[in-house]
């Protein structure tokens, strides 16, 4: 009777499970570009910091392509400068020619009007005998000359207007040259990024595991080279669905790791899975087909551990654990 009372005292208000494991973030380290490994700077179980170089790929081809991209950008800028200068010169020349042609046409029109007035006056005087026919002929020749000059000025102005059309073409060429600068800048940025990818670095702090990188090995994008294990472990406990009514985020938890059964670790519920484990399985069960046997479902609950208690404790993912959560 006393044993039953002791069990009630120690287990009252607790939900417990021994279906639990230590977990941590596992990040597969892989290359983003194809290449050949030239250096491997880490070993299994080595601690690394965020941004630390792990693997170096052969970057000679990448550096050559980067130099080519830099040269292409320089050439594009020079061509754009030349096109811009040509467009500016064409615009200035066309504007000056248009102004000059307009002024010449005004002068030719004025001269033509004066020559026409003189011709009519002298022809009238010649019919009345006031002037000689020779003077009238000279006035007629001056009028013809003025007409030719006016026609020439009109042609000159049309030529000046045609130059304005060429200015538009030069401006479009200058715009295309500026677009080539943008393309060359994008190509240069891409080559710099490709070159940076030859340095494979740690995305975060952790420890190296599942090391498979060796110098001289050919790698492809996405091919795993090693695994980075995070430094902050937690526990994932699978509780029965009948225990969920008593579980809430923020509840205190007691955790025992099978590797250290005499140590009790403090924890706290920080999350409850949005679906049962069966729903996340590769082949979820279909209860609507065939004979149905009811199975108690398990729901994963994440437990955060007290960082002071686990400091220096070699908790690695996969260790078995038992969890008790105290109701509130």
Listed by start position, the domains of the chain span 14-58+228-326, 61-196
pLDDT of residue 161: 58
| Low pLDDT (below 50) residues in the chain | 5-10
Give the global pTM: 0.69
Q: Measured between alpha carbons, how far is 151 from 114 in angstroms, rounded to an integer? A: 16
Q: Which residues contact 212 (CB under 8 A, 6 or more apart)?
A: 224, 225, 226
Phi and psi at residue 232, to the nearest 5°: -110, 100
| Per-residue model confidence (pLDDT) at position 127 | 66
- In Å, how far are 78, 219, 317 from 82, measured between CA atoms? 6, 45, 64
Contact predicate 326/14, CB 8 Å: yes
Number of Cβ atoms within 10 Å of the Cβ of 197: 17
User: What are the tens digits of pLDDT across the range 63-113?
Assistant: 999 999 999 999 988 888 887 777 666 666 656 556 666 666 666 667 657
Q: How many CB atoms lie within 10 A of CB 208?
A: 20
Phi/psi region, residue 56 (left: phi>0; alpha: psi -120 to 50; beta: rest), is: beta
Q: Cα–Cα distance between 158 and 102 in angstroms, integer?
A: 10
| 14-58+228-326: CATH topology | Elongation Factor Tu (Ef-tu); domain 3 (2.40.30)
| Residue 126: C-alpha distances to residues 116, 136, 143, 185 (Å) | 15, 7, 16, 80
Token digits for 233? 């472990």
Same fold, 14-58+228-326 and 61-196: no
| pLDDT attached to residue 8 | 45
Starting from the edge strand earliest in sequence, which strands make up the sheet with 35-40, in order? 199-201, 53-57, 35-40, 218-219
CATH number of 61-196: 1.10.287
pLDDT value of residue 9: 43
List, for residues 19-40, the tens digit of each pLDDT value: 999 999 999 999 999 999 999 9
């Amino acid at each position: 009777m006393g044993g039953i009372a002791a069990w009630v005292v120690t287990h009252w208000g607790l939900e417990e499970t021994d279906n639990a494991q230590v977990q941590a973030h596992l990040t597969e380290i892989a290359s983003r570009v194809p290449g050949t490994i030239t250096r491997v700077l880490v070993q299994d179980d080595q601690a690394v910091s965020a941004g630390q170089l792990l693997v170096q790929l052969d970057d000679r081809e990448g550096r050559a392509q980067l130099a080519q991209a830099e040269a292409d950008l320089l050439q594009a800028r020079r061509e754009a400068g030349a096109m811009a200068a040509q467009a500016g010169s064409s615009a200035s020349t066309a504007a000056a020619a248009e102004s000059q042609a307009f002024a010449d046409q005004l002068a030719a029109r004025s001269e033509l009007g004066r020559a026409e007035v003189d011709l009519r006056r002298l022809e009238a005087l010649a019919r009345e005998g006031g002037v000689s026919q020779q003077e009238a002929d000279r006035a007629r020749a001056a009028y013809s000359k003025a007409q030719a000059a006016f026609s020439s000025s009109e042609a000159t102005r049309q030529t000046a207007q045609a130059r304005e059309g060429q200015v538009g073409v030069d401006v479009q060429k200058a715009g295309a040259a500026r677009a080539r600068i943008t393309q060359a800048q994008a190509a240069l940025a891409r080559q710099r990024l490709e070159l940076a990818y030859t340095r494979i670095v740690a995305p975060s702090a952790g420890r190296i595991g599942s090391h498979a990188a060796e110098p001289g090995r050919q790698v492809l994008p996405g091919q795993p080279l090693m695994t980075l294990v995070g430094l902050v472990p937690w526990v994932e406990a699978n509780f029965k669905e009948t225990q969920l009514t008593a579980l809430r985020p923020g509840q205190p938890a007691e955790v025992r790791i099978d590797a250290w059964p005499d140590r009790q670790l403090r924890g706290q519920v920080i999350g409850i899975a949005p679906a049962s484990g069966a729903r996340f399985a590769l082949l979820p069960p279909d209860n609507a087909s065939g004979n149905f046997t009811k199975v108690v479902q398990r729901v994963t609950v994440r437990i955060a551990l007290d960082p002071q208690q686990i400091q220096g404790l070699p908790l690695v993912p996969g260790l078995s654990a038992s969890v008790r959560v105290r109701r509130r």
